[in-house]
Amino acid sequence: LTETRKLIAGIDTKISLPNGKYLPVINFDNAATTPPFLPVLEEIMNFSPWYASVHRGTGYKSQVSSNIYENARSMIADFVGADLKHDTIIFLKNTTEAINKLSNRLLNTYKDGVILSSFMEHHSNDLPWRNKYTVDYIDINQEGKLSLEDLEAKLLHYKGRVQLVAVTGASNVTGYMNPINQIAEIAHRHGAKILVDGAQLVPHAPINMKPPNDPQHIDFLVFSGHKMYAPFGTGVLIGPKEIFQKGSPDYTGGGTVEIVTHDTVKWADPPLKEEAGTPNVMGVLAIVTAIKTLKNLGMEDIEIYERKLMEYALSRLKDIDDLIFYGDAFNSKDRVSIIPFNILGMSHDMVATIFAQEAAIAVRNGCFCAQPYIQRLLNISAEEIKNRIEDPSLPHPGVVRISFGLYNSFDEIDQLIKLLSKISKNKKAYLSKYRHLSF
Ligand code: PMP
C-alpha cells in the first residue's frame, strides 16, 4: 500500500479546517473522479519535447506523436479484450460524449429500433437515447439489482425490435456489477447488441469484451480516463468498425475525410472519420500510461483489495446506530467498492459537509446523475422526486456515497468510522452546529 500510495498525485495534501485542525485529505469520492497517477503526469512531461499535432505532418515530432496516438489503440484493445480486426477504438472527451456519439451514429442502422436502457443507469446512458429511438427501461428488483427476468421479458415483448441493450458495467450509486457477458448472451439470442457503460467498471475490475464470434461478446464499450487515474478530457468508445463505416460522422471537419471537392466528400475510414479536429494526443498518452500502471498493479489484485476495503467498511458501519442503507447493502459480491447511505434525521448534504469540515473527508452526496435509480432505492414516487428537486423548501432527495480507490487505506476508513460514531452519538449537537443545512 505504501508503494501504491506513492503513485498518486496529491496524496499528501493537507488542509486547514474550520475547527483549527490541519489534516491530510481523505478522498472517498473516487467514483466521481480519481486523482492522476504520478507516472501519468511524468509521461506527459516526457512527451513535451515531442509536442506536435498528430497525423498532420511529416516532421519528426509529428511522427513520434502520431505513433504514440495510434499505438494507444492496440494497448487499449489488449486491456479490455477488444479485437482490432473487427472493432475500432475512437478517442473522445469522456463517457458521456462517447454514448452521445454512439446514439447519433446508430441512427443509420437502428432508427426504427428499440433501445433498452435500465433503471440503474447514469443519466449519460439514458438521456442520449431519448427522442431518437423508442427507449424502454429494464427493471430492477427489490435489492436494486438489474432484473434479468425483466430483460428477457422486454426482449420477448418487443419481438426482435430491440437493437441495443445499453447497461452499466457497475452502478455509480450502489456499485452493483452487472453480469455483462451473460446479458450479452441474452441480448444476442434476441438479435440485439449490447453497450456496456464501463465508466465505473473498467478502473476497478478486469473486463473482457471476448471475441466477436463468442455469444458473450460485448459489442460496444465506453469509459472515461479521469475515473482511471488519468486527467480529465479523454474518453474511449469501442465498437464494430462496420457500424462507423456507414453514413456520415456526427461531427465533420479536418481529419474526417480522404477526398473533398466542393460537391463530393469521401470519408476516411474509422476511427479517423469519427475524430474530427486535432486529437488530444496528451490525453491519449495519459490513458495508456494509466492502463500500464493498472496492469502492473494487476486488475485482479485491485478488485480484491478494493473489495476488502468495502467489506471492512461495511462491517464497521453495521455497528453504528441510525444509519440507513439501501438495497443489498451488506453483500459485497459482484460489486465495486461504492457504499450509499444516509443518517436518520440528517440531510445528506449536512453529513457530507460535516465529513469535509470536521475531518477533511471528501465524499459525494445527492443523486449522482441517476435520479430514476435514487427514486427507486429511496422508494419515492417520480412526482415526489420532481417536487423535492424543484422546491427549495423541501429536503432534496439523495444519499451520501463513499467510493474507494486502489490507494485508500484501512486507517482512512477507521477515521471515517470514528467520525460517524461521534455524529451518531452526538446527533443533536451536530444538528445544531450545522442547522443551516438541515431540513
Ligand atoms: N456512467 C457512469 C456509470 C458514471 O459513473 C459516469 C460518471 N459519473 C458517467 C457515465 C459519465 O462519465 P463522464 O462524466 O466522464 O462522461
Q: What does the pLDDT look like over 2-22, one tens digit per residue?
A: 899 999 999 989 999 999 999
Instruction: Please indicate, yes or no, if residue 7 is contained in any of the structural domains.
Output: yes
> pLDDT tens for residues 183-224?
999 999 999 999 999 999 999 999 999 999 999 999 999 999
Percent of the chain residues past pLDDT 90, beyond the cut = 89
Res. 235 pLDDT band, cuts 50 70 90: very high
Q: In terms of domains, do 209 and 68 share one?
A: yes
In this predicted structure, what is the pLDDT of residue 439? 67
**Rounded to 5, what percent of the chain is helix, strand, coil?**
40, 20, 40
Cα-to-centroid distance, 422 and ligand 1 (Å) = 33
Q: Check residue 146 and report its DSSP letter.
A: B
Q: Does any domain span residue 156? A: yes
Q: Are 390 and 243 contained in the same domain?
A: no
Contact 293, 229 (CB under 8 A): yes
Pocket perturbation via mutation, ligand 1, pick of 30, 92, 96 by most ligand atoms within 8 A of CB: 96
Question: Is 142 domain-assigned?
Answer: yes
Average pLDDT over every residue of 286-299: 98
Distance 231 CA to ligand 1 centre (A): 14
Residue 434 DSSP label: T
H or E stretch including 189?
A: helix 180-189
Give the model's confidence band at 437: pLDDT under 50 very low, under 70 low, under 90 confident, else very high: confident
Q: How far is CA 50 from the centre of its chain?
A: 31
Number of domains forming the structure of the chain:
2
Q: Where are the alpha helices (DSSP H) in 130-255?
A: 148-157, 180-189, 241-245
Instruction: Read off the CATH number of the domain in which 191 is found.
Output: 3.40.640.10
Cβ of residue 200 lying under 6 Å from some atom of ligand 1: yes
Last residue in a domain, options 262, 295, 328: 295
Average confidence score pLDDT of the chain: 96
What is the pLDDT at residue 388? 86
> What band does 83 get if pLDDT is binned at 50, 70 and 90?
very high
Answer for the pair 355, 416: CB distance below 8 angstroms, yes or no.
yes
Question: Is the confidence at residue 293, as pLDDT, over 90?
Answer: yes
- Which amino acid is it at 151? L
Do 309 and 264 share a structural domain? no
Q: Does residue 57 lie in a domain region?
A: yes
- Are residues 156 and 79 part of one domain? yes
Q: Does 125 lie in the same domain as 56?
A: yes
Query: What's the confidence (pLDDT) of residue 53?
Result: 87
pLDDT class for 399, splitting at 50, 70, 90? very high
Question: How much is the average pLDDT of 139-149?
Answer: 97
CA distance 57 to 64: 11
Q: Is residue 144 part of a domain?
A: yes
Cell readout for 164 is: 441495443
Phi, psi of 362 (to 5 degrees): -95, 120
Containing domain of residue 146, as a range?
A: 41-295
Q: Which three cell numbers stand for residue 422?
A: 461521534
Residue 322 falls within a domain, yes or no? yes
Q: Quick check: is 35 in a domain?
A: no
Contact 370, 170 (CB under 8 A): no
pLDDT at 438 over 80: no
* Cβ(289) – ligand 1 distance below 6 Å: no
Annotate 6-61 with DSSP letters as a single string.
TTBTTTT-EEE-TTS-EEE-EE-BTTT--PPBHHHHHHHHHHGGG---SSS--SHH
> How much of the chain exceeds pLDDT 70, in percent?
100
Q: Say whether both 247 and 383 belong to one domain.
A: no
Checking DSSP bridges between strand 265-267 and strand 257-260, what pairing results, if any? antiparallel
Report whether residue 96 contacts ligand 1, using a CB cutoff of 6 Å: yes
Judge if 90 and 152 occupy the same domain.
yes
CB of 126 closer than 6 angstroms to any ligand 1 atom: no
Question: Which residues are catalytically annotated?
Answer: 369
306 and 290 in a common domain: no
Task: Say if ligand 1 is within 6 A of residue 8 CB.
Answer: no
Residue 110: is its pLDDT beyond 90? no
* 162 and 15 belong to one structural domain: no
| Among candidate residues 271, 295, 319, the one where a domain is terminated | 295
With contact defined as beta carbons under 8 Å apart, do 250 and 267 qualify?
no
Which of these three, 228, 260, 295, is where a domain ends? 295
Specify the range with the lowest mean pLDDT, choosing from 48-52, 369-373, 417-421. 48-52
Whole-number Å distance between alpha carbons of 361 and 343 = 16
pLDDT at 436 over 90: no
The verdict on residue 36 lying in a domain is: no
Q: Is 432 found in the same domain as 313?
A: yes
Residue in 227, 415, 198, 409 with CA at minimum distance from that of residue 308: 409
Q: Which of 119, 178, 227, 229 for mutating ligand 1's site (highest number of atoms within 8 Å of CB)? A: 227
Which atom of ligand 1 is nearest to 32's Cα? 8
Asked whether residue 148 falls in the same domain as residue 255, the answer is yes
* Minimum mean pLDDT range among 52-61, 151-160, 226-235, 328-337: 52-61
Regarding whether 312 and 280 lie in a shared domain, the answer is no
Q: Which pLDDT belongs to residue 346?
A: 95
Instruction: Output the domain CATH number for residue 318.
Output: 3.90.1150.10
